[in-house]
Structure 1
């Protein structure tokens, strides 16, 4: 096809004429297979004239970025073989999927994993048909794609994934292609700063390639319209040395790309060798490539008289409406034959041997690199006995502690015990100390490769706590780290974890699919610690008050997600140990960092967390009888308010029989048919009763509890209190009052729903009304909560 004229910069000519011929042929083969996947059902080698019956009825796929990705992949194969590199390929333009699948088939990995798609004509036919086809594979890179660690369904995360993959992988290079539309996204823009955290001694390297092809779906891209000087200044400012490869003539571009890759690999090796020999870890200026090619390169120059190659019209399917425009079928045949398939494949449909030899062998193939199937490399964490960190709780509620600080001691020793393995990191957006995990700094520092000043606190090139004020980048780093076979945890303020909602979605989808693929090995779970939560953001105000991430999480498949609401330090320790040992889950732990009462001994906590839900007998007085009311709670502050309400009820209505139920594992509320942790209906009814009122104090938005329990027998008697979007800068207790979650409102709820209290309830209601008036007057006068609130301790009967 006719090429768009773009000037090419002068470069050496490292390829012999024979090498050039073979590399160009291999690239043509990958382009041919890519077009075939988008269009063809049959006639894969075009041995017969192309007709409509050979073409898919629905054309789904993206061509525009694919030839550039194929070009890069072909050249990476060359430098891998020449330099015996350990390299993976991360592609941000995810809809270049046909190209990645094509290469995995060309180098044999695809047929090894999927024997039903062999390297012959019948295999090529299956390869073509399955792409974006019912019962087949997605149009983008996905878990089904060998060599992929990056879900291509959303743009912006490729670069942070690539850096996460090479942290603590000193021999690995992640080549990361960033699309020019993708480069406009916020997550990607911040991820360029990841090079400030890359240690050339202990980490691998990322080779970013910014692939400029000029257009998004229907508009120009921002970076493609910047001048050469401005674009170069941008990436020099990011800390890179940019190398340019620009043009459209295949011969010139192959020589230019080969020479540039030789140079950048030499640069990377020099940086690493110097750092590893001398110990000098002064932040280097890492190389990158800016590759400018036409969009839809080698595709139809025009379609129906309209420019296509080098324009946005080639973004998806350049030739459509084939059932009504037979001339498009002819143009498709001409396009595919322009790659000269008879020169690329033998009569059986296999890639000709002289071309197949261009690919690396065994695990050096990027599609077979074990780092892209991280479970193959996963080693168990060395985890100390969490019982050794337990808070002594001789009686419920008589001891106070900061739960996440206790968790920090455990994480400190996990970090220490795995120092040699270098397979555990803690990520967070500048909140490690704030979230009371500062004990980590007794054994490590924050990762930091930029300038360090004398007054700086715990910054070092070999630190293992990673902080950057970008939740997107923290999440991306951790995902890349986990997907390549390591472990970690992400600590974040609860309200701001919403920033990564979409990234959570993509990782959950990845796990869901990968668990259904036999050759994908289990990886360490993605663990979130959400603290500085809604009920203790009274000082920061309304902007910091949002518990809704849990609602988002429970939308995902039940065999992927876990949500834990430990009420104290010992339950938090127990849950943390469980999460760090788990595989292929997303674990969300919500726990406060402030001083709070401790309820359970470590032995009781283990039993409680093993079930995920339980009756707290020591707080209940219905033993041997049916309760008049069930007081349920999930979350540390709701637990505190529930127990305070129970004490008030005992004082005001001592004849009342109360059952207290605490929930640690939120998913126990769902029926067993909906979630593997769900309580069977019989057990749920035995615990919550079939007909008694249930007052449920919940950490988050109340309607989630109704959603989880709507099929339960006693759902009609369930009354839930939680966060209802009332917040401001105020006192801690006033936050729960504003949302009717406080002990006084809970007592009032009981009075309204227990028939036994119909005669005496008026006095109790007046009592709580007066208390709420006192509360309001006190905080507006003194700016703090009443002493009876601040100094309250559980004094119930102990069992």
Structure 2
């Protein structure tokens, strides 16, 4: 109590001052009426799993401790985490029992991924390891192989990953399990995902927001998540926040989140308590679902959540060298870390392992005894490690013909508006296998065409409750990413559109996911999955009311750093190429696709047919903007990104007026990965093809949407790259006009013209002869236009007129004539 003096040696119980009326807020239940046989099976399963988990951390020989341990029986490196394992084993045993009893479609998502020993031990007991890895058969040799090779180069790693049967969540980084679990149940009405969250993980920001994920689950169309908060009180070396909260505080918190909390504690009969609690939770889930599916949905249903309280390192050593271990942070990793060289610790390890009675848990052949098998689902497909949707259940998406949504060449269209209409049809044709996850930005990003045939799925108010919807908008990039991962890894397809500047929030989540999919690809038993699809818009190049904080294209680099087999980055220059790109990405499998484009109207440079060919190639010469179709150029100008490409095209138009002797080739690159050196990426151009496109020896100037170092990294390995110049975003910005952003970052048409003149002058004497005067005029334009923008707060009229190219769809555009435009020289764009 406030002001109370606390005896540190004998602290009061956390709930000693809480009135019973408050604790009654938490669900109170009778313990389950388990048969003696079921109770023994649960206890035997837990003893066996805990034995195997502990042995995996320590033993390389004598793996069933049939003689006294020696130092030679101990692994040279002790790796793994013991502290969370007993709690995970308890949960795993009861989930199998619950599934067998109720014939469930149950998936288990494990937040404490470093508890791999207990999960692998449980998978071995239920026979799932043997199904996918014959070397881990349910025999004496198979068990030895599992224990002896754990956390060695020839065995399983110490964290749950894609090699772990049943896993749909990379266990290396904490915070994402709950969002992944909710994504996995969407559009799976019969599916239940049990998700355990460690109390350390519960402190993370992504988890804090993910508690609200239930508010986006329509129980009429989707399954349910059973969250299990595992309170063992400690992280690596400190107490946890939740572990220091009393029942009143936890009950109030989860009631406010919209849950019914139920506490399960180690009070001498935990198996009966947990069995009753899980059955209660399942019954509550079915009650909510039945109401929704009968047309009478419950407004703000109170979903169940279990609060499991067990000591950290439960059933392990109580004390080691005078330090408390069980129930403290000392149990977190390896409780007997000196067992390889300390005789006393070696003896403690032997006593600990013998306490589980391994001789009574395995048959002479090494298989688990029959008592253990009685709680495991009979049907292999129902076992937690063999749920087919966790490893081989890809639902092929029906992708409409994007060409039906194409726009006329020569006009203007927002890339986002075009693909919004396209994705609307994707929703129509895939009503149960396609979703969009967005941080409350769809309308701002001009993707509202999506809403022609669907709505937002939000269940926590009377206006949207019970109405479904294929769009999830929650202002948390972390939760959107978690939803997308869970949805994708259980067979479906999703899209994540976002402001360019804030996709970086989920950088590490995306990397963790890519590690999972890399390892999945290297297994023999996991199947294909849909690609993870990002749309990056509201870019730095077209500012409205946002300033410098909203200017950040760094997510491109994050994707580029991935394994070449996964990374795909596209910067379509117009609406038709973006339509072609997104159709391709939605059909693709096993990639991380990043598509970058503008939401503002942009010139449509390519017809539907031209866009199709251009995207197939990844890059092409834009003959309409080049001199003599790009033959024998003095300089090559390359645009990458819609606005940056527009500046290149305008520069080429002006150059043909002010430098008529210059020969220019204009190229657009839409698939960034073709620029990699030969053999470094599947899309990379061969050296011969690269030289055919960019020439073998002419100066090349890239006008690039992202950061210059990204492009340098891609081009490294090509010969003769000293001829390359790169202009790109360089962290210059403010709340200013779009063209001022081009000027500030050195990527405007004038900067492109300057680079072109300097490059062409190296081989063209006529360009060199006038270079000083021409460059002086260009610098004068930059200065005067900058002054105009500062004075008026707007870009000069005609800045975004489409330039004229005779004999093309752009013949009716503006005619550029040196230092003035034909139809106006009063608007300030060019000055005398």
TM over 0.5: yes
1:35 partnered with 2:51: no
User: Cα distance, 1:47 vs. partner?
Assistant: 1.2
**Are 1:312 and 2:322 matched, yes or no?**
no
Residue 583 (structure 2) pairs with residue 577 (structure 1): yes
**Which residue of 2 is the match for residue 432 of structure 1?**
442
The correspondence of residues 429-508 of structure 1 with structure 2, limited to 5 A, is 429-452=439-462, 461-508=467-514
- Residue 773 of structure 1, aligned match among 783, 800, 810: 783
Aligned residue in 1 for 2:7 = none
How far off its partner does 1:351 sit? 0.3
The answer (yes or no) to whether the contact 2:75–2:340 under 8 Å persists in 1 is no
Question: Is 1:728 the equivalent of 2:740?
Answer: no
CA deviations over 1:150-178 (Å, ceiling 9, x no partner): 11000000000000000110001000001
Give 3-state SS (helix, strand or coil) of 1:219's partner.
coil
Q: Residues 10, 461 of structure 1: CA spacing in aligned structure 2 closer, same or farther, 3 A cutoff?
A: closer
SS at 2:701's partner residue? strand
The equivalent residue for 2:395 is: 379
Q: Secondary structure at the match of 1:789?
A: coil
Q: CA 1:6 to 1:100, structure 2 compared with 1: closer, same or farther past 3 Å?
A: farther
3-state SS of paired residue (2:225): strand
**What residue is the counterpart of 2:814 in the other structure?**
none
Is the 1:191–1:473 contact (alpha carbons within 8 Å) kept by the matching residues of 2? yes
The aligned counterpart of 1:51 is 70
In the alignment, which residue of structure 2 is the partner of 1:409?
A: 421
Give the secondary-structure state (helix, strand or coil) at the position aligned to 1:787: coil
Aligned-partner Cα distance in 2 for 1:587–1:248: 51
Change (3 A) 1:591 1:655: same
Secondary structure in 1 aligned to 2:536? strand
Deviation at 1:13, TM superposition (A): 4.4
Aligned with 2:368 (options 332, 344, 351): 351
Q: How far did 1:652 drift? A: 1.0
> Of 695, 698, 710, which aligns to 2:701?
695
C-alpha contact (below 8 Å) 2:514/2:566 kept by paired residues? yes
Counterpart CA distance in 2 for 1:624 and 1:201 is 59
Q: Is the 8 A contact 2:40 2:371 kept in 1?
A: no
Task: Verify the 8 A CA contact 2:548 2:735 in the aligned structure 1.
Answer: yes
Partner of 2:346: 329
Identify the residue that residue 656 of structure 2 maps to in structure 1. 650
Q: Secondary structure at the match of 1:89?
A: strand
| Equivalent residue in structure 2 for 1:761, among 760, 763, 771 | 771
Unpaired stretches in structure 1, ≥5 consecutive residues: none
Aligned Cα RMSD in Å?
1.7
Deviation at 1:753, TM superposition (A): 2.6
Distance (whole Å) between structure 2 residues aligned to residue 218 and residue 623 of structure 1: 68
Partner of 1:532: 538
Tell me the SS of whatever aligns to 2:306: strand
Answer whether contact 2:644 2:703 (CA < 8 A) is retained: yes
| Mapped contact 1:706–1:715 kept (Cα < 8 A) | no
**CA deviation profile, 1:237-293 (whole Å, cap 9, x unmatched):** 1000000001263xx111111111121111111111222123425231100100010
- Counterparts in 2 of 1:366 and 1:5: CA distance versus 1, 3 Å: farther
Alpha-carbon distance, 1:532 to partner: 0.5
1:615–1:660 CA contact under 8 A, matched in 2 = yes
Query: Contact conserved, 2:258 with 2:300, CA < 8 A, in 1?
Result: no
Match of 1:176 in 2: 195
* Partner SS for 2:501: helix
**How far does the alpha carbon of each residue in 1:186-241 deviate from its partner, in whole angstroms, 9 at most, with x for none?**
00000000011111111101000000000000000001101110111000010000
Aligned counterparts of 2:155 and 2:573: Cα–Cα separation in 1? 46
Q: CA deviation at 1:354?
A: 2.5
* Conserved? CA contact 1:630–1:693, under 8 Å: yes
What is the distance in 2 between the residues matched to 1:352 and 1:610?
A: 59
For 1:538 and 1:712, locate their aligned partners in 2 and report how far apart those are by CA, in whole Å: 39
Aligned counterparts of 2:68 and 2:807: Cα–Cα separation in 1: 88
Mapped to 2, the partners of 1:248 and 1:54 lie a distance apart of 36
Q: TM-score scaled to structure 1, two decimals? A: 0.96
Rounded to whole Å, the distance in 2 between the matches of 1:331 and 1:307 is 14
User: 1:322 and 1:496 mapped to 2: Cα distance?
Assistant: 48
For 1:144-183, list aligned pairs within 5 A. Answer: 144-183=163-202
Once the two structures are superposed, residues 109-145 of structure 1 have per-residue CA deviations (whole angstroms, 9 ceiling, x without a partner) of: 1101111211011001110122111132211111100
Contact preservation (8 Å) 1:45, 1:349: no
Q: Which of 549, 565, 574 is equivalent to 1:568?
A: 574
Q: Helix, strand or coil for the counterpart of 1:466?
A: strand
2:56 alignment partner, SS class: helix
Residue in 2 that maps onto 1:341:
358
Seen in structure 2, the aligned counterparts of structure 1 residues 173 and 5 have a Cα distance that, compared at 3 Å, is farther
Q: Are residue 711 (structure 1) and residue 717 (structure 2) matched?
A: yes
Query: Bigger CA drift: 11-20 or 161-170?
Result: 11-20
* 1:538-567 Cα deviation digits (max 9, x unpaired): 530100000111111111100011000000
Show the counterpart of 1:295.
312
Q: Which moved more, 1:134-143 or 1:666-675?
A: 134-143
Per-residue displacement from partner, 1:377-434 (whole Å, max 9, x unpaired)?
22221221111001111xxxx3111111001111000101112xx0100110001111
Deviation at 1:771, TM superposition (A): 1.1
* More displaced 10-residue stretch of structure 1: 490-499 or 761-770: 761-770
Residue aligning to 1:418? 430
**Distance in 2, Cα, partners of 1:279 & 1:386:** 39
Q: Distance in 2 between matches of 1:7 and 1:45?
A: 40
1:256 aligns to 2:307 (yes or no): no
Q: In 2, are the aligned partners of 1:111 and 1:118 still within 8 Å (CA)?
A: yes
| 1:558–1:675 contact (8 Å) kept in structure 2 | yes
1:132-143 → structure 2 map (5 Å cutoff): 132-143=151-162
CA contact (8 A) 2:750 2:778 kept: yes
In structure 1, the partner of 2:382 is 364
| 3-state secondary structure, aligned to 1:47 | coil
Counterpart contact for 2:71–2:341, Cα < 8 Å: no
The 8 Å contact of residues 91 and 177 in structure 1, kept in 2 or not, is answered as yes
Q: Secondary structure at the match of 2:384?
A: coil
Note the C-alpha offset of 1:796. 5.0
1:100 corresponds to which residue?
119
1:795 deviates by 3.1
Matching residue of 1:604: 610
Contact 2:737 2:793 in 1 (8 A): yes
